[in-house]
Amino acid sequence: MAGEPKPLRILVVTRSYPAPGDLYRYPFVHRRVLSYVAAGHDVSVFRPSDRPGGHRFEDIVCLSGDREALSAHVRNWRPDVVAVHGFSETIWPVVQPLAGRIPIRAWLHGSEIPAIARFKAEHDGGDDERSAAFRLLERRCAFWQRFLANPPANFSLVFVSESAAAQAREDMGALLHDWSVIHNPIDTELFEYRPKAANDRFNILMIRPFDSFGYGNDLAASAIWSLSGRTGFERLRFTIIGDGPLFDSTLQPVRQLPNVRIEQRFLTQAEIAGRHRDHGIFLVPTRIDTQGVSRDEAMASGLVPVTNAAGAVTEFTDRHCAALAPANDAEALADGLWEMVEDEKLFARRSAAAAERVRRQSCRSLVIPQELAMLGAAANG
């Protein structure tokens, strides 16, 4: 039809991408790719790697290779615009030959932001790992200072929250000019809202990686242990699913509780949506968050998050749709959860409000058009 914009050829360059045996590697990028394709655009996915090759995940092919492999792919495929996810000094050398020739929009999701990398360096791993992390942090800060002092033409950064942008400004300061904020999109069709029954508040779900102090999984274990001393605790059913180097040590204090079920594995997005249907509360503590995609997916399904008011959490939740504890406060997490156990009307109000909040703020039907409009303007600018 006359007047309709032509489909874009979007090259997605991403630091990581899900694979059949590794489901938690940037699944939010995969959801974007599926949405771009569903909107009628041509999308190619490339992951920088020393090992050339590729893999298929849910009908999407992710190519892998070095700078030369990417340049050859670009010559053959001729993209209109490049969307980079996880942009930092490690990806820049690979995409640098494209800069100035093809518009680039680069998303920062986490430790690419120096303030977040600093937090991880201070808290994760032993002495050797921390030393290595601080060396990486020094290189990252130096990179951003050099890069932003003379950025390429038609290049801009994208943050997923105002909080993430504020954290970036702590180190990038006045050099940070060309940037925007667009939330991670939440698939509210997959994470469908079904009104929760009152008894669903007794079923508490936790799905997390266990590889960083920043996730606050130890706070969840402490909260569960605190709740175990309360009269009526036996009514509750906890399901904890995840994996990572901190899995066993973090969950050791609650492993023997009879109403705590622990599954050491990762789930597909469809499996996560299925677990949402059987639960009413989502236990998702955090010490640092740029958005919290898994929390928002649970909210979309009508689960009430029990979390900490840290990082970007208060941009995406409030006390009408969540139980918010102060930072690092496990006892307040326990109290917030217990309040809904004792008050089924509060739980019901928050459940409906959680589903509505996601659909109003970050659902796919809102966010994907924003992203495509930005990419289209870049391609045609």
Domain harbouring 348, CATH code = 3.40.50.2000
Axis-axis angle for helices 27-38, 364-380 (nearest 10): 70
Task: Compute the CA torsion angle 170, 171, 173, 176 (nearest 10 deg).
Answer: -110
Do 159 and 299 share a domain, yes or no?
A: no
Do 95 and 117 share a domain, yes or no?
A: yes
Asked if the structure places residue 191 within a domain, the reply is: no
**Token digits for 328?**
């690092």
Do 42 and 164 share a domain, yes or no?
A: yes
Alpha-carbon span 249 to 319, nearest angstrom: 31
Asked if the structure places residue 2 within a domain, the reply is: no
Average pLDDT over residues 327-353: 98
Alpha-carbon span 45 to 60, nearest angstrom: 8
* 364 has pLDDT over 60: yes
Number of compact structural domains in the chain = 2
* 335 has pLDDT over 90: yes
Q: In terms of C-beta density within 10 A (0-12 exposed, 13-18 middle, 19 or more buried), how is residue 302 classed?
A: buried
pLDDT of residue 2: 44
Asked if the structure places residue 190 within a domain, the reply is: no
Between 90 and 23, residue with greater pLDDT: 90
Asked if the structure places residue 193 within a domain, the reply is: no
Asked if the structure places residue 347 within a domain, the reply is: yes
* 1 has pLDDT over 50: no
* 155-181 tens-digit pLDDT: 999 999 999 999 999 998 878 889 999
Do 204 and 151 share a domain, yes or no?
A: no
Domain with 137, as residue range(s), is 9-185+363-380
pLDDT of residue 174: 79
Asked if the structure places residue 285 within a domain, the reply is: yes
pTM score of the predicted model = 0.93
Do 27 and 151 share a domain, yes or no?
A: yes
